[in-house]
Amino acid sequence: MTAQGTKTAAIPVEALITESQFLSLAEQLPDWTLEYSVEEGLTFMPPTDPLTSRRNSLIVYRLSAWAEGGSGIVSGPDGGFLLPDGARLAPDAAWFNEARYQAAQVPGVRFPLFVPEFVIELRSPSDRRYKLEDKMQSWMKNGVALGWLVDPLERSVTVYRPALAPEVLANPVEVRGEGPVAGFTLTLDRILS
């Protein structure tokens, strides 16, 4: 596959994909990020553009700086999770409780069944917004406590909470964490601009 003119390519899969099948595909396509959902099948994503990468680096850096010294772990866009519905997704940033993650570990399993408490997805110029909205709903359906969809194209942040309608913040200067990330504030300079 090549990245000529497309951000993602999806291939429907009839049954849940096993960890060994998923890892085998990932080894064959080392320059692509792979995700799997029951609804979409396999999705292959090529590397992103440098400006989106910079924005994502700022998000991960700011979340990591806040989490430093605490009991949580921060992962970036290359960190994937196996969710209860069988999906294998990688958020652009995530925070999760370290003790919960350690308890979920299974010997010989690279991706244990585990849901982070907090996720951030960042829209790039080639992302279709409705696809990211679907992904955020998948995160919520699988047990994420709080999610943010950061959209530089629309200069907005959409806040996702379980069992509530998404809340759209237009042109925010910052967004404040709650629940699992109470006390975290993401300043949006150089992210929404």
pLDDT in tens, 114-138: 999 999 999 999 899 999 999 999 9
- Give domain status of residue 27, yes or no: no
Q: What's the confidence (pLDDT) of residue 71?
A: 80
- Does the structure show a pLDDT above 90 at 41? no
Residue 68 within any structural domain of the chain: yes
Residue 106 CB-density burial (10 A; 0-12 exposed, 13-18 middle, 19+ buried): exposed
SS3 content of the chain, % helix, strand, coil (to 5): 25, 25, 45
Quickly state the pLDDT bin for 4 (edges 50, 70, 90).
very low
Tell me: pLDDT of 54 over 80. yes
Q: Which residue range(s) make up the domain with 129?
A: 48-187
pLDDT score at 82: 92
The answer to the question of residue 132 being in a domain is yes
37 domain-assigned: no
pTM of the model: 0.83
Q: Answer with the residue of higher pLDDT: 144 or 88.
A: 144
Is pLDDT at 77 greater than 70 in this prediction?
A: yes
Q: How many domains does the chain have?
A: 1
Q: Over 90: is that where the pLDDT of 8 sits?
A: no
Is residue 5 a part of any domain in this protein? no
User: Does 31 fall in a domain?
Assistant: no
- Distance of alpha carbon 86 from alpha carbon 89, whole angstroms: 10
The pLDDT score that the predictor gives to residue 69 is 81
CATH number of the domain encompassing residue 159: 3.90.1570.10
Answer yes or no: is 173 within a domain: yes
In a domain, 25, yes or no: no
DSSP at 181: G
Q: Mind listing the pLDDT tens digit for each residue in 135-188?
A: 999 999 999 999 999 999 999 999 999 999 999 999 999 999 999 999 999 999
Q: How confident is the model at residue 34 (pLDDT cuts 50, 70, 90)?
A: low
